[in-house]
Amino acid sequence: MAQKKKIGSPGQLEIRQYETPLSAERFRDMLEALVSTEPAFNTSFLMGKYAEGLRIGGLDQHGDIVIRHHAMAEGKTVHLEFRLGDAALVAKIYGHFGSQLKLVGPKDDGENEPFPNLGHFLDSLRMSKLKQSIIFADSAIESALDCGFDEYDEVLEELVFLKLMNGFAKVHGYRGENKDRHRYLQAKRRHKHPHIVLHQGQKLRLPHRLHIRSLKFDTTLRLHFAALPRNRFLIGYVDEYSECPF
């Protein structure tokens, strides 16, 4: 008996890369014409001024379609990130451009990176042991797609600490000025102007933040989260900054 092919969920992240002869300006013009005239995009809209960073968002989409046009010495490429449930819209894009887009898949740059970006890494954690304590909202995955932070070990360490910190605090009390006490107080702080996200049909405030400083660059990753009942946490939004925001 033939084994059935496993079908991913509509929210599963997908990545595609194409070669193109089109300039960034021409590519954006053609994409704008498609979104404004194709009936399949009636409830969608194009965001972004330059082809290096475009998004197609929509009321009926499973997530934003992130599109980046790159012009390099070796040629021009178009990079797409989307939800599996929006594959039909991506097919419309591919059909609209026709021979102007050639599917090549992710380029091998000589490094064995397990994840194309932070969004894919956080999405993979949804199936890890962390899922019993830490929930990643779709809005967190979407926002992480725009982050260049790739120090995944540091992110994982901070998330594991978040999962365990309340238990540690009860045992050790976090006395003194050690690293864990600073992390604990930072995670417990409630910010006055929190991000608000839509999760499972409900609006949720994200009053807490984790800050993860890069070991390679002058940037910090910030995870916005909310505390849930039964010692659980919802990561709802992700961004990064170069200067201290306090």
203-229 residue pLDDT tens: 999 999 999 999 888 899 999 999 999
The average pLDDT across 14-42 equals: 92
CA 77/CA 101 separation, integer angstroms: 9
Average pLDDT, the chain: 85
Look at residue 181 in the predicted model and tell me its pLDDT.
80
Find the mean pLDDT for residues 44-70.
Answer: 89
pLDDT at 106: 53
CA 150 – CA 143 distance, rounded (Å): 14
What is residue 204's predicted lDDT score, i.e. its pLDDT? 92
Q: What is the tens place of the pLDDT at every residue in 83-125?
A: 888 999 999 999 999 999 998 855 444 444 567 789 889 988 9
What is the domain partition of the chain in residue ranges? 13-103, 118-241
CATH homologous superfamily of domain 13-103?
Kinase associated domain 1, KA1 (3.30.310.80)
Share of the chain above pLDDT 90, in %: 44
Contact predicate 163/151, CB 8 Å:
no
Q: Is the pLDDT reported for residue 239 higher than 60?
A: yes
Instruction: Identify the residue with better confidence: 1 or 14.
Output: 14
CB 70 within 8 A of CB 52: yes
Residues 142-181: tens digit of each pLDDT? 899 888 898 999 999 999 999 988 776 666 566 655 677 8
Direct distance between the N- and C-terminal alpha carbons of the chain, in angstroms, rounded to an integer: 61
pTM assigned to the model: 0.67
Q: Is the pLDDT of residue 23 over 70?
A: yes
What integer pLDDT is reported at residue 174 of this predicted model?
Answer: 62
Query: For residues 225 and 194, is the Cβ–Cβ distance under 8 A?
Result: no
Kindly provide the b/e burial profile for residues 13-37, where b requires at least 16 CB atoms within 10 angstroms of the residue's own CB: bbbbbbebebebeebbeebeebbee
| pLDDT mean over 57-67 | 89
Q: 3 pLDDT band (50/70/90 cuts)?
A: very low
Q: In the prediction, which pLDDT does 171 show? A: 60
